[in-house]
Amino acid sequence: MREPELGEGRTRPELDQSSPDGTFMQVVTAAVAGLAILIAAAAAVVTVVIGPTAAYRWLASPSRPAAPVAGAVVAKLQPPPPRPSPVPRQPADIPRMTPRVVGGGTGFVVSHEGHVVTAWHVVSRCDVVTVDSERASVLFRATHADLAVLKLIDRRQVEDVARLSAEGAALGEPVMAVGYPLPSQLGGGLNVTMGNVSSLAGFKGEQTDLQFSARVLPGNSGGPILDERGHLIGVVHSVLSVSANAGFGLKGKVLERYLRSAGVPFETAASSEAAPGPVRVSERAARFTKRIACWATR
């Protein structure tokens, strides 16, 4: 007679738990149960840290990264936005610095063609120079003498000019210093001070300079030193101290030599002319004495 097959009323005999086969199956069952517990615990930790939706995506991903460490802060990293292609900047797009005044002083006109004398240190660091708001260029400079000659760019004719004294300075004679010192403190108007020629030599005996007692302040540099007839005998360039009333200037006769060498036209006047008085001299000086502004554009 044929033995019945499995499912035909015959059941598989149970394994003896005390047999070797029974012990092996018990170990395997315990290992599988422990692994399931570990997986469930890991899933619970991930759900707590990154949220249920992200945990589902992480667990379902076939190439998921290592699970985050419990208790760590998980930053939400967003992909960086696409960087636009750089566009070459056009000259009009380049920012330009607003011009600003960084210094200044005084000057005076010596020719009807628009040549203006000043001190070199007044304009040495300028990007742009203006003479009473008119653009000017540096035509000539003598740095060792602190002298510069400017040329008005757009002016074709100037009516009033300073005239150089034919005789030059004399020791003890009355002088007038004219200029635009400390415009922000003194109002910006023309300033006139009186004094005398104190010495026919400058600082430490410099023979190209003279010393005078008319008080000068910052901003007087480059201004004219006039005798009592209003003729030019020097160019202000420095002072021993603001309170000492000891100013120094380039002699008018030395200026005359520089102007000749640079081909700059000028006029001279003889001392035989009568002195018109300080008021008239001041009025005339106001017409040829100019405010120099030094501008920075970068």
Distance from C-alpha of 70 to C-alpha of 46, rounded to nearest angstrom = 8
Report which secondary-structure segment, H or E, holds 55. Answer: helix 52-60
Residues sharing a CB contact under 8 Å with residue 19, sequence separation 6 or more, in sequence order: none
What is the C-alpha separation between 144 and 274, in angstroms, rounded? 35
Q: Which two tokens stand for residue 294?
A: 């030094």
Q: Which two tokens stand for residue 19?
A: 């047999």
- Give burial (CB, 10 Å; 0-12/13-18/19+) of 287: middle
- Length, in residues, of the chain: 298
Are the C-beta atoms of 224 and 156 separated by less than 8 Å? Answer: no
Q: Where are the beta strands (DSSP E) in 180-287?
A: 191-199, 209-212, 224-227, 232-239, 247-251, 267-269
Catalytic residues: 121, 146, 221
- Position 39, amino acid: I
Phi, psi at residue 150, to the nearest 5°? -105, 160
| CA atoms of 82 and 61, how far apart (whole Å) | 27
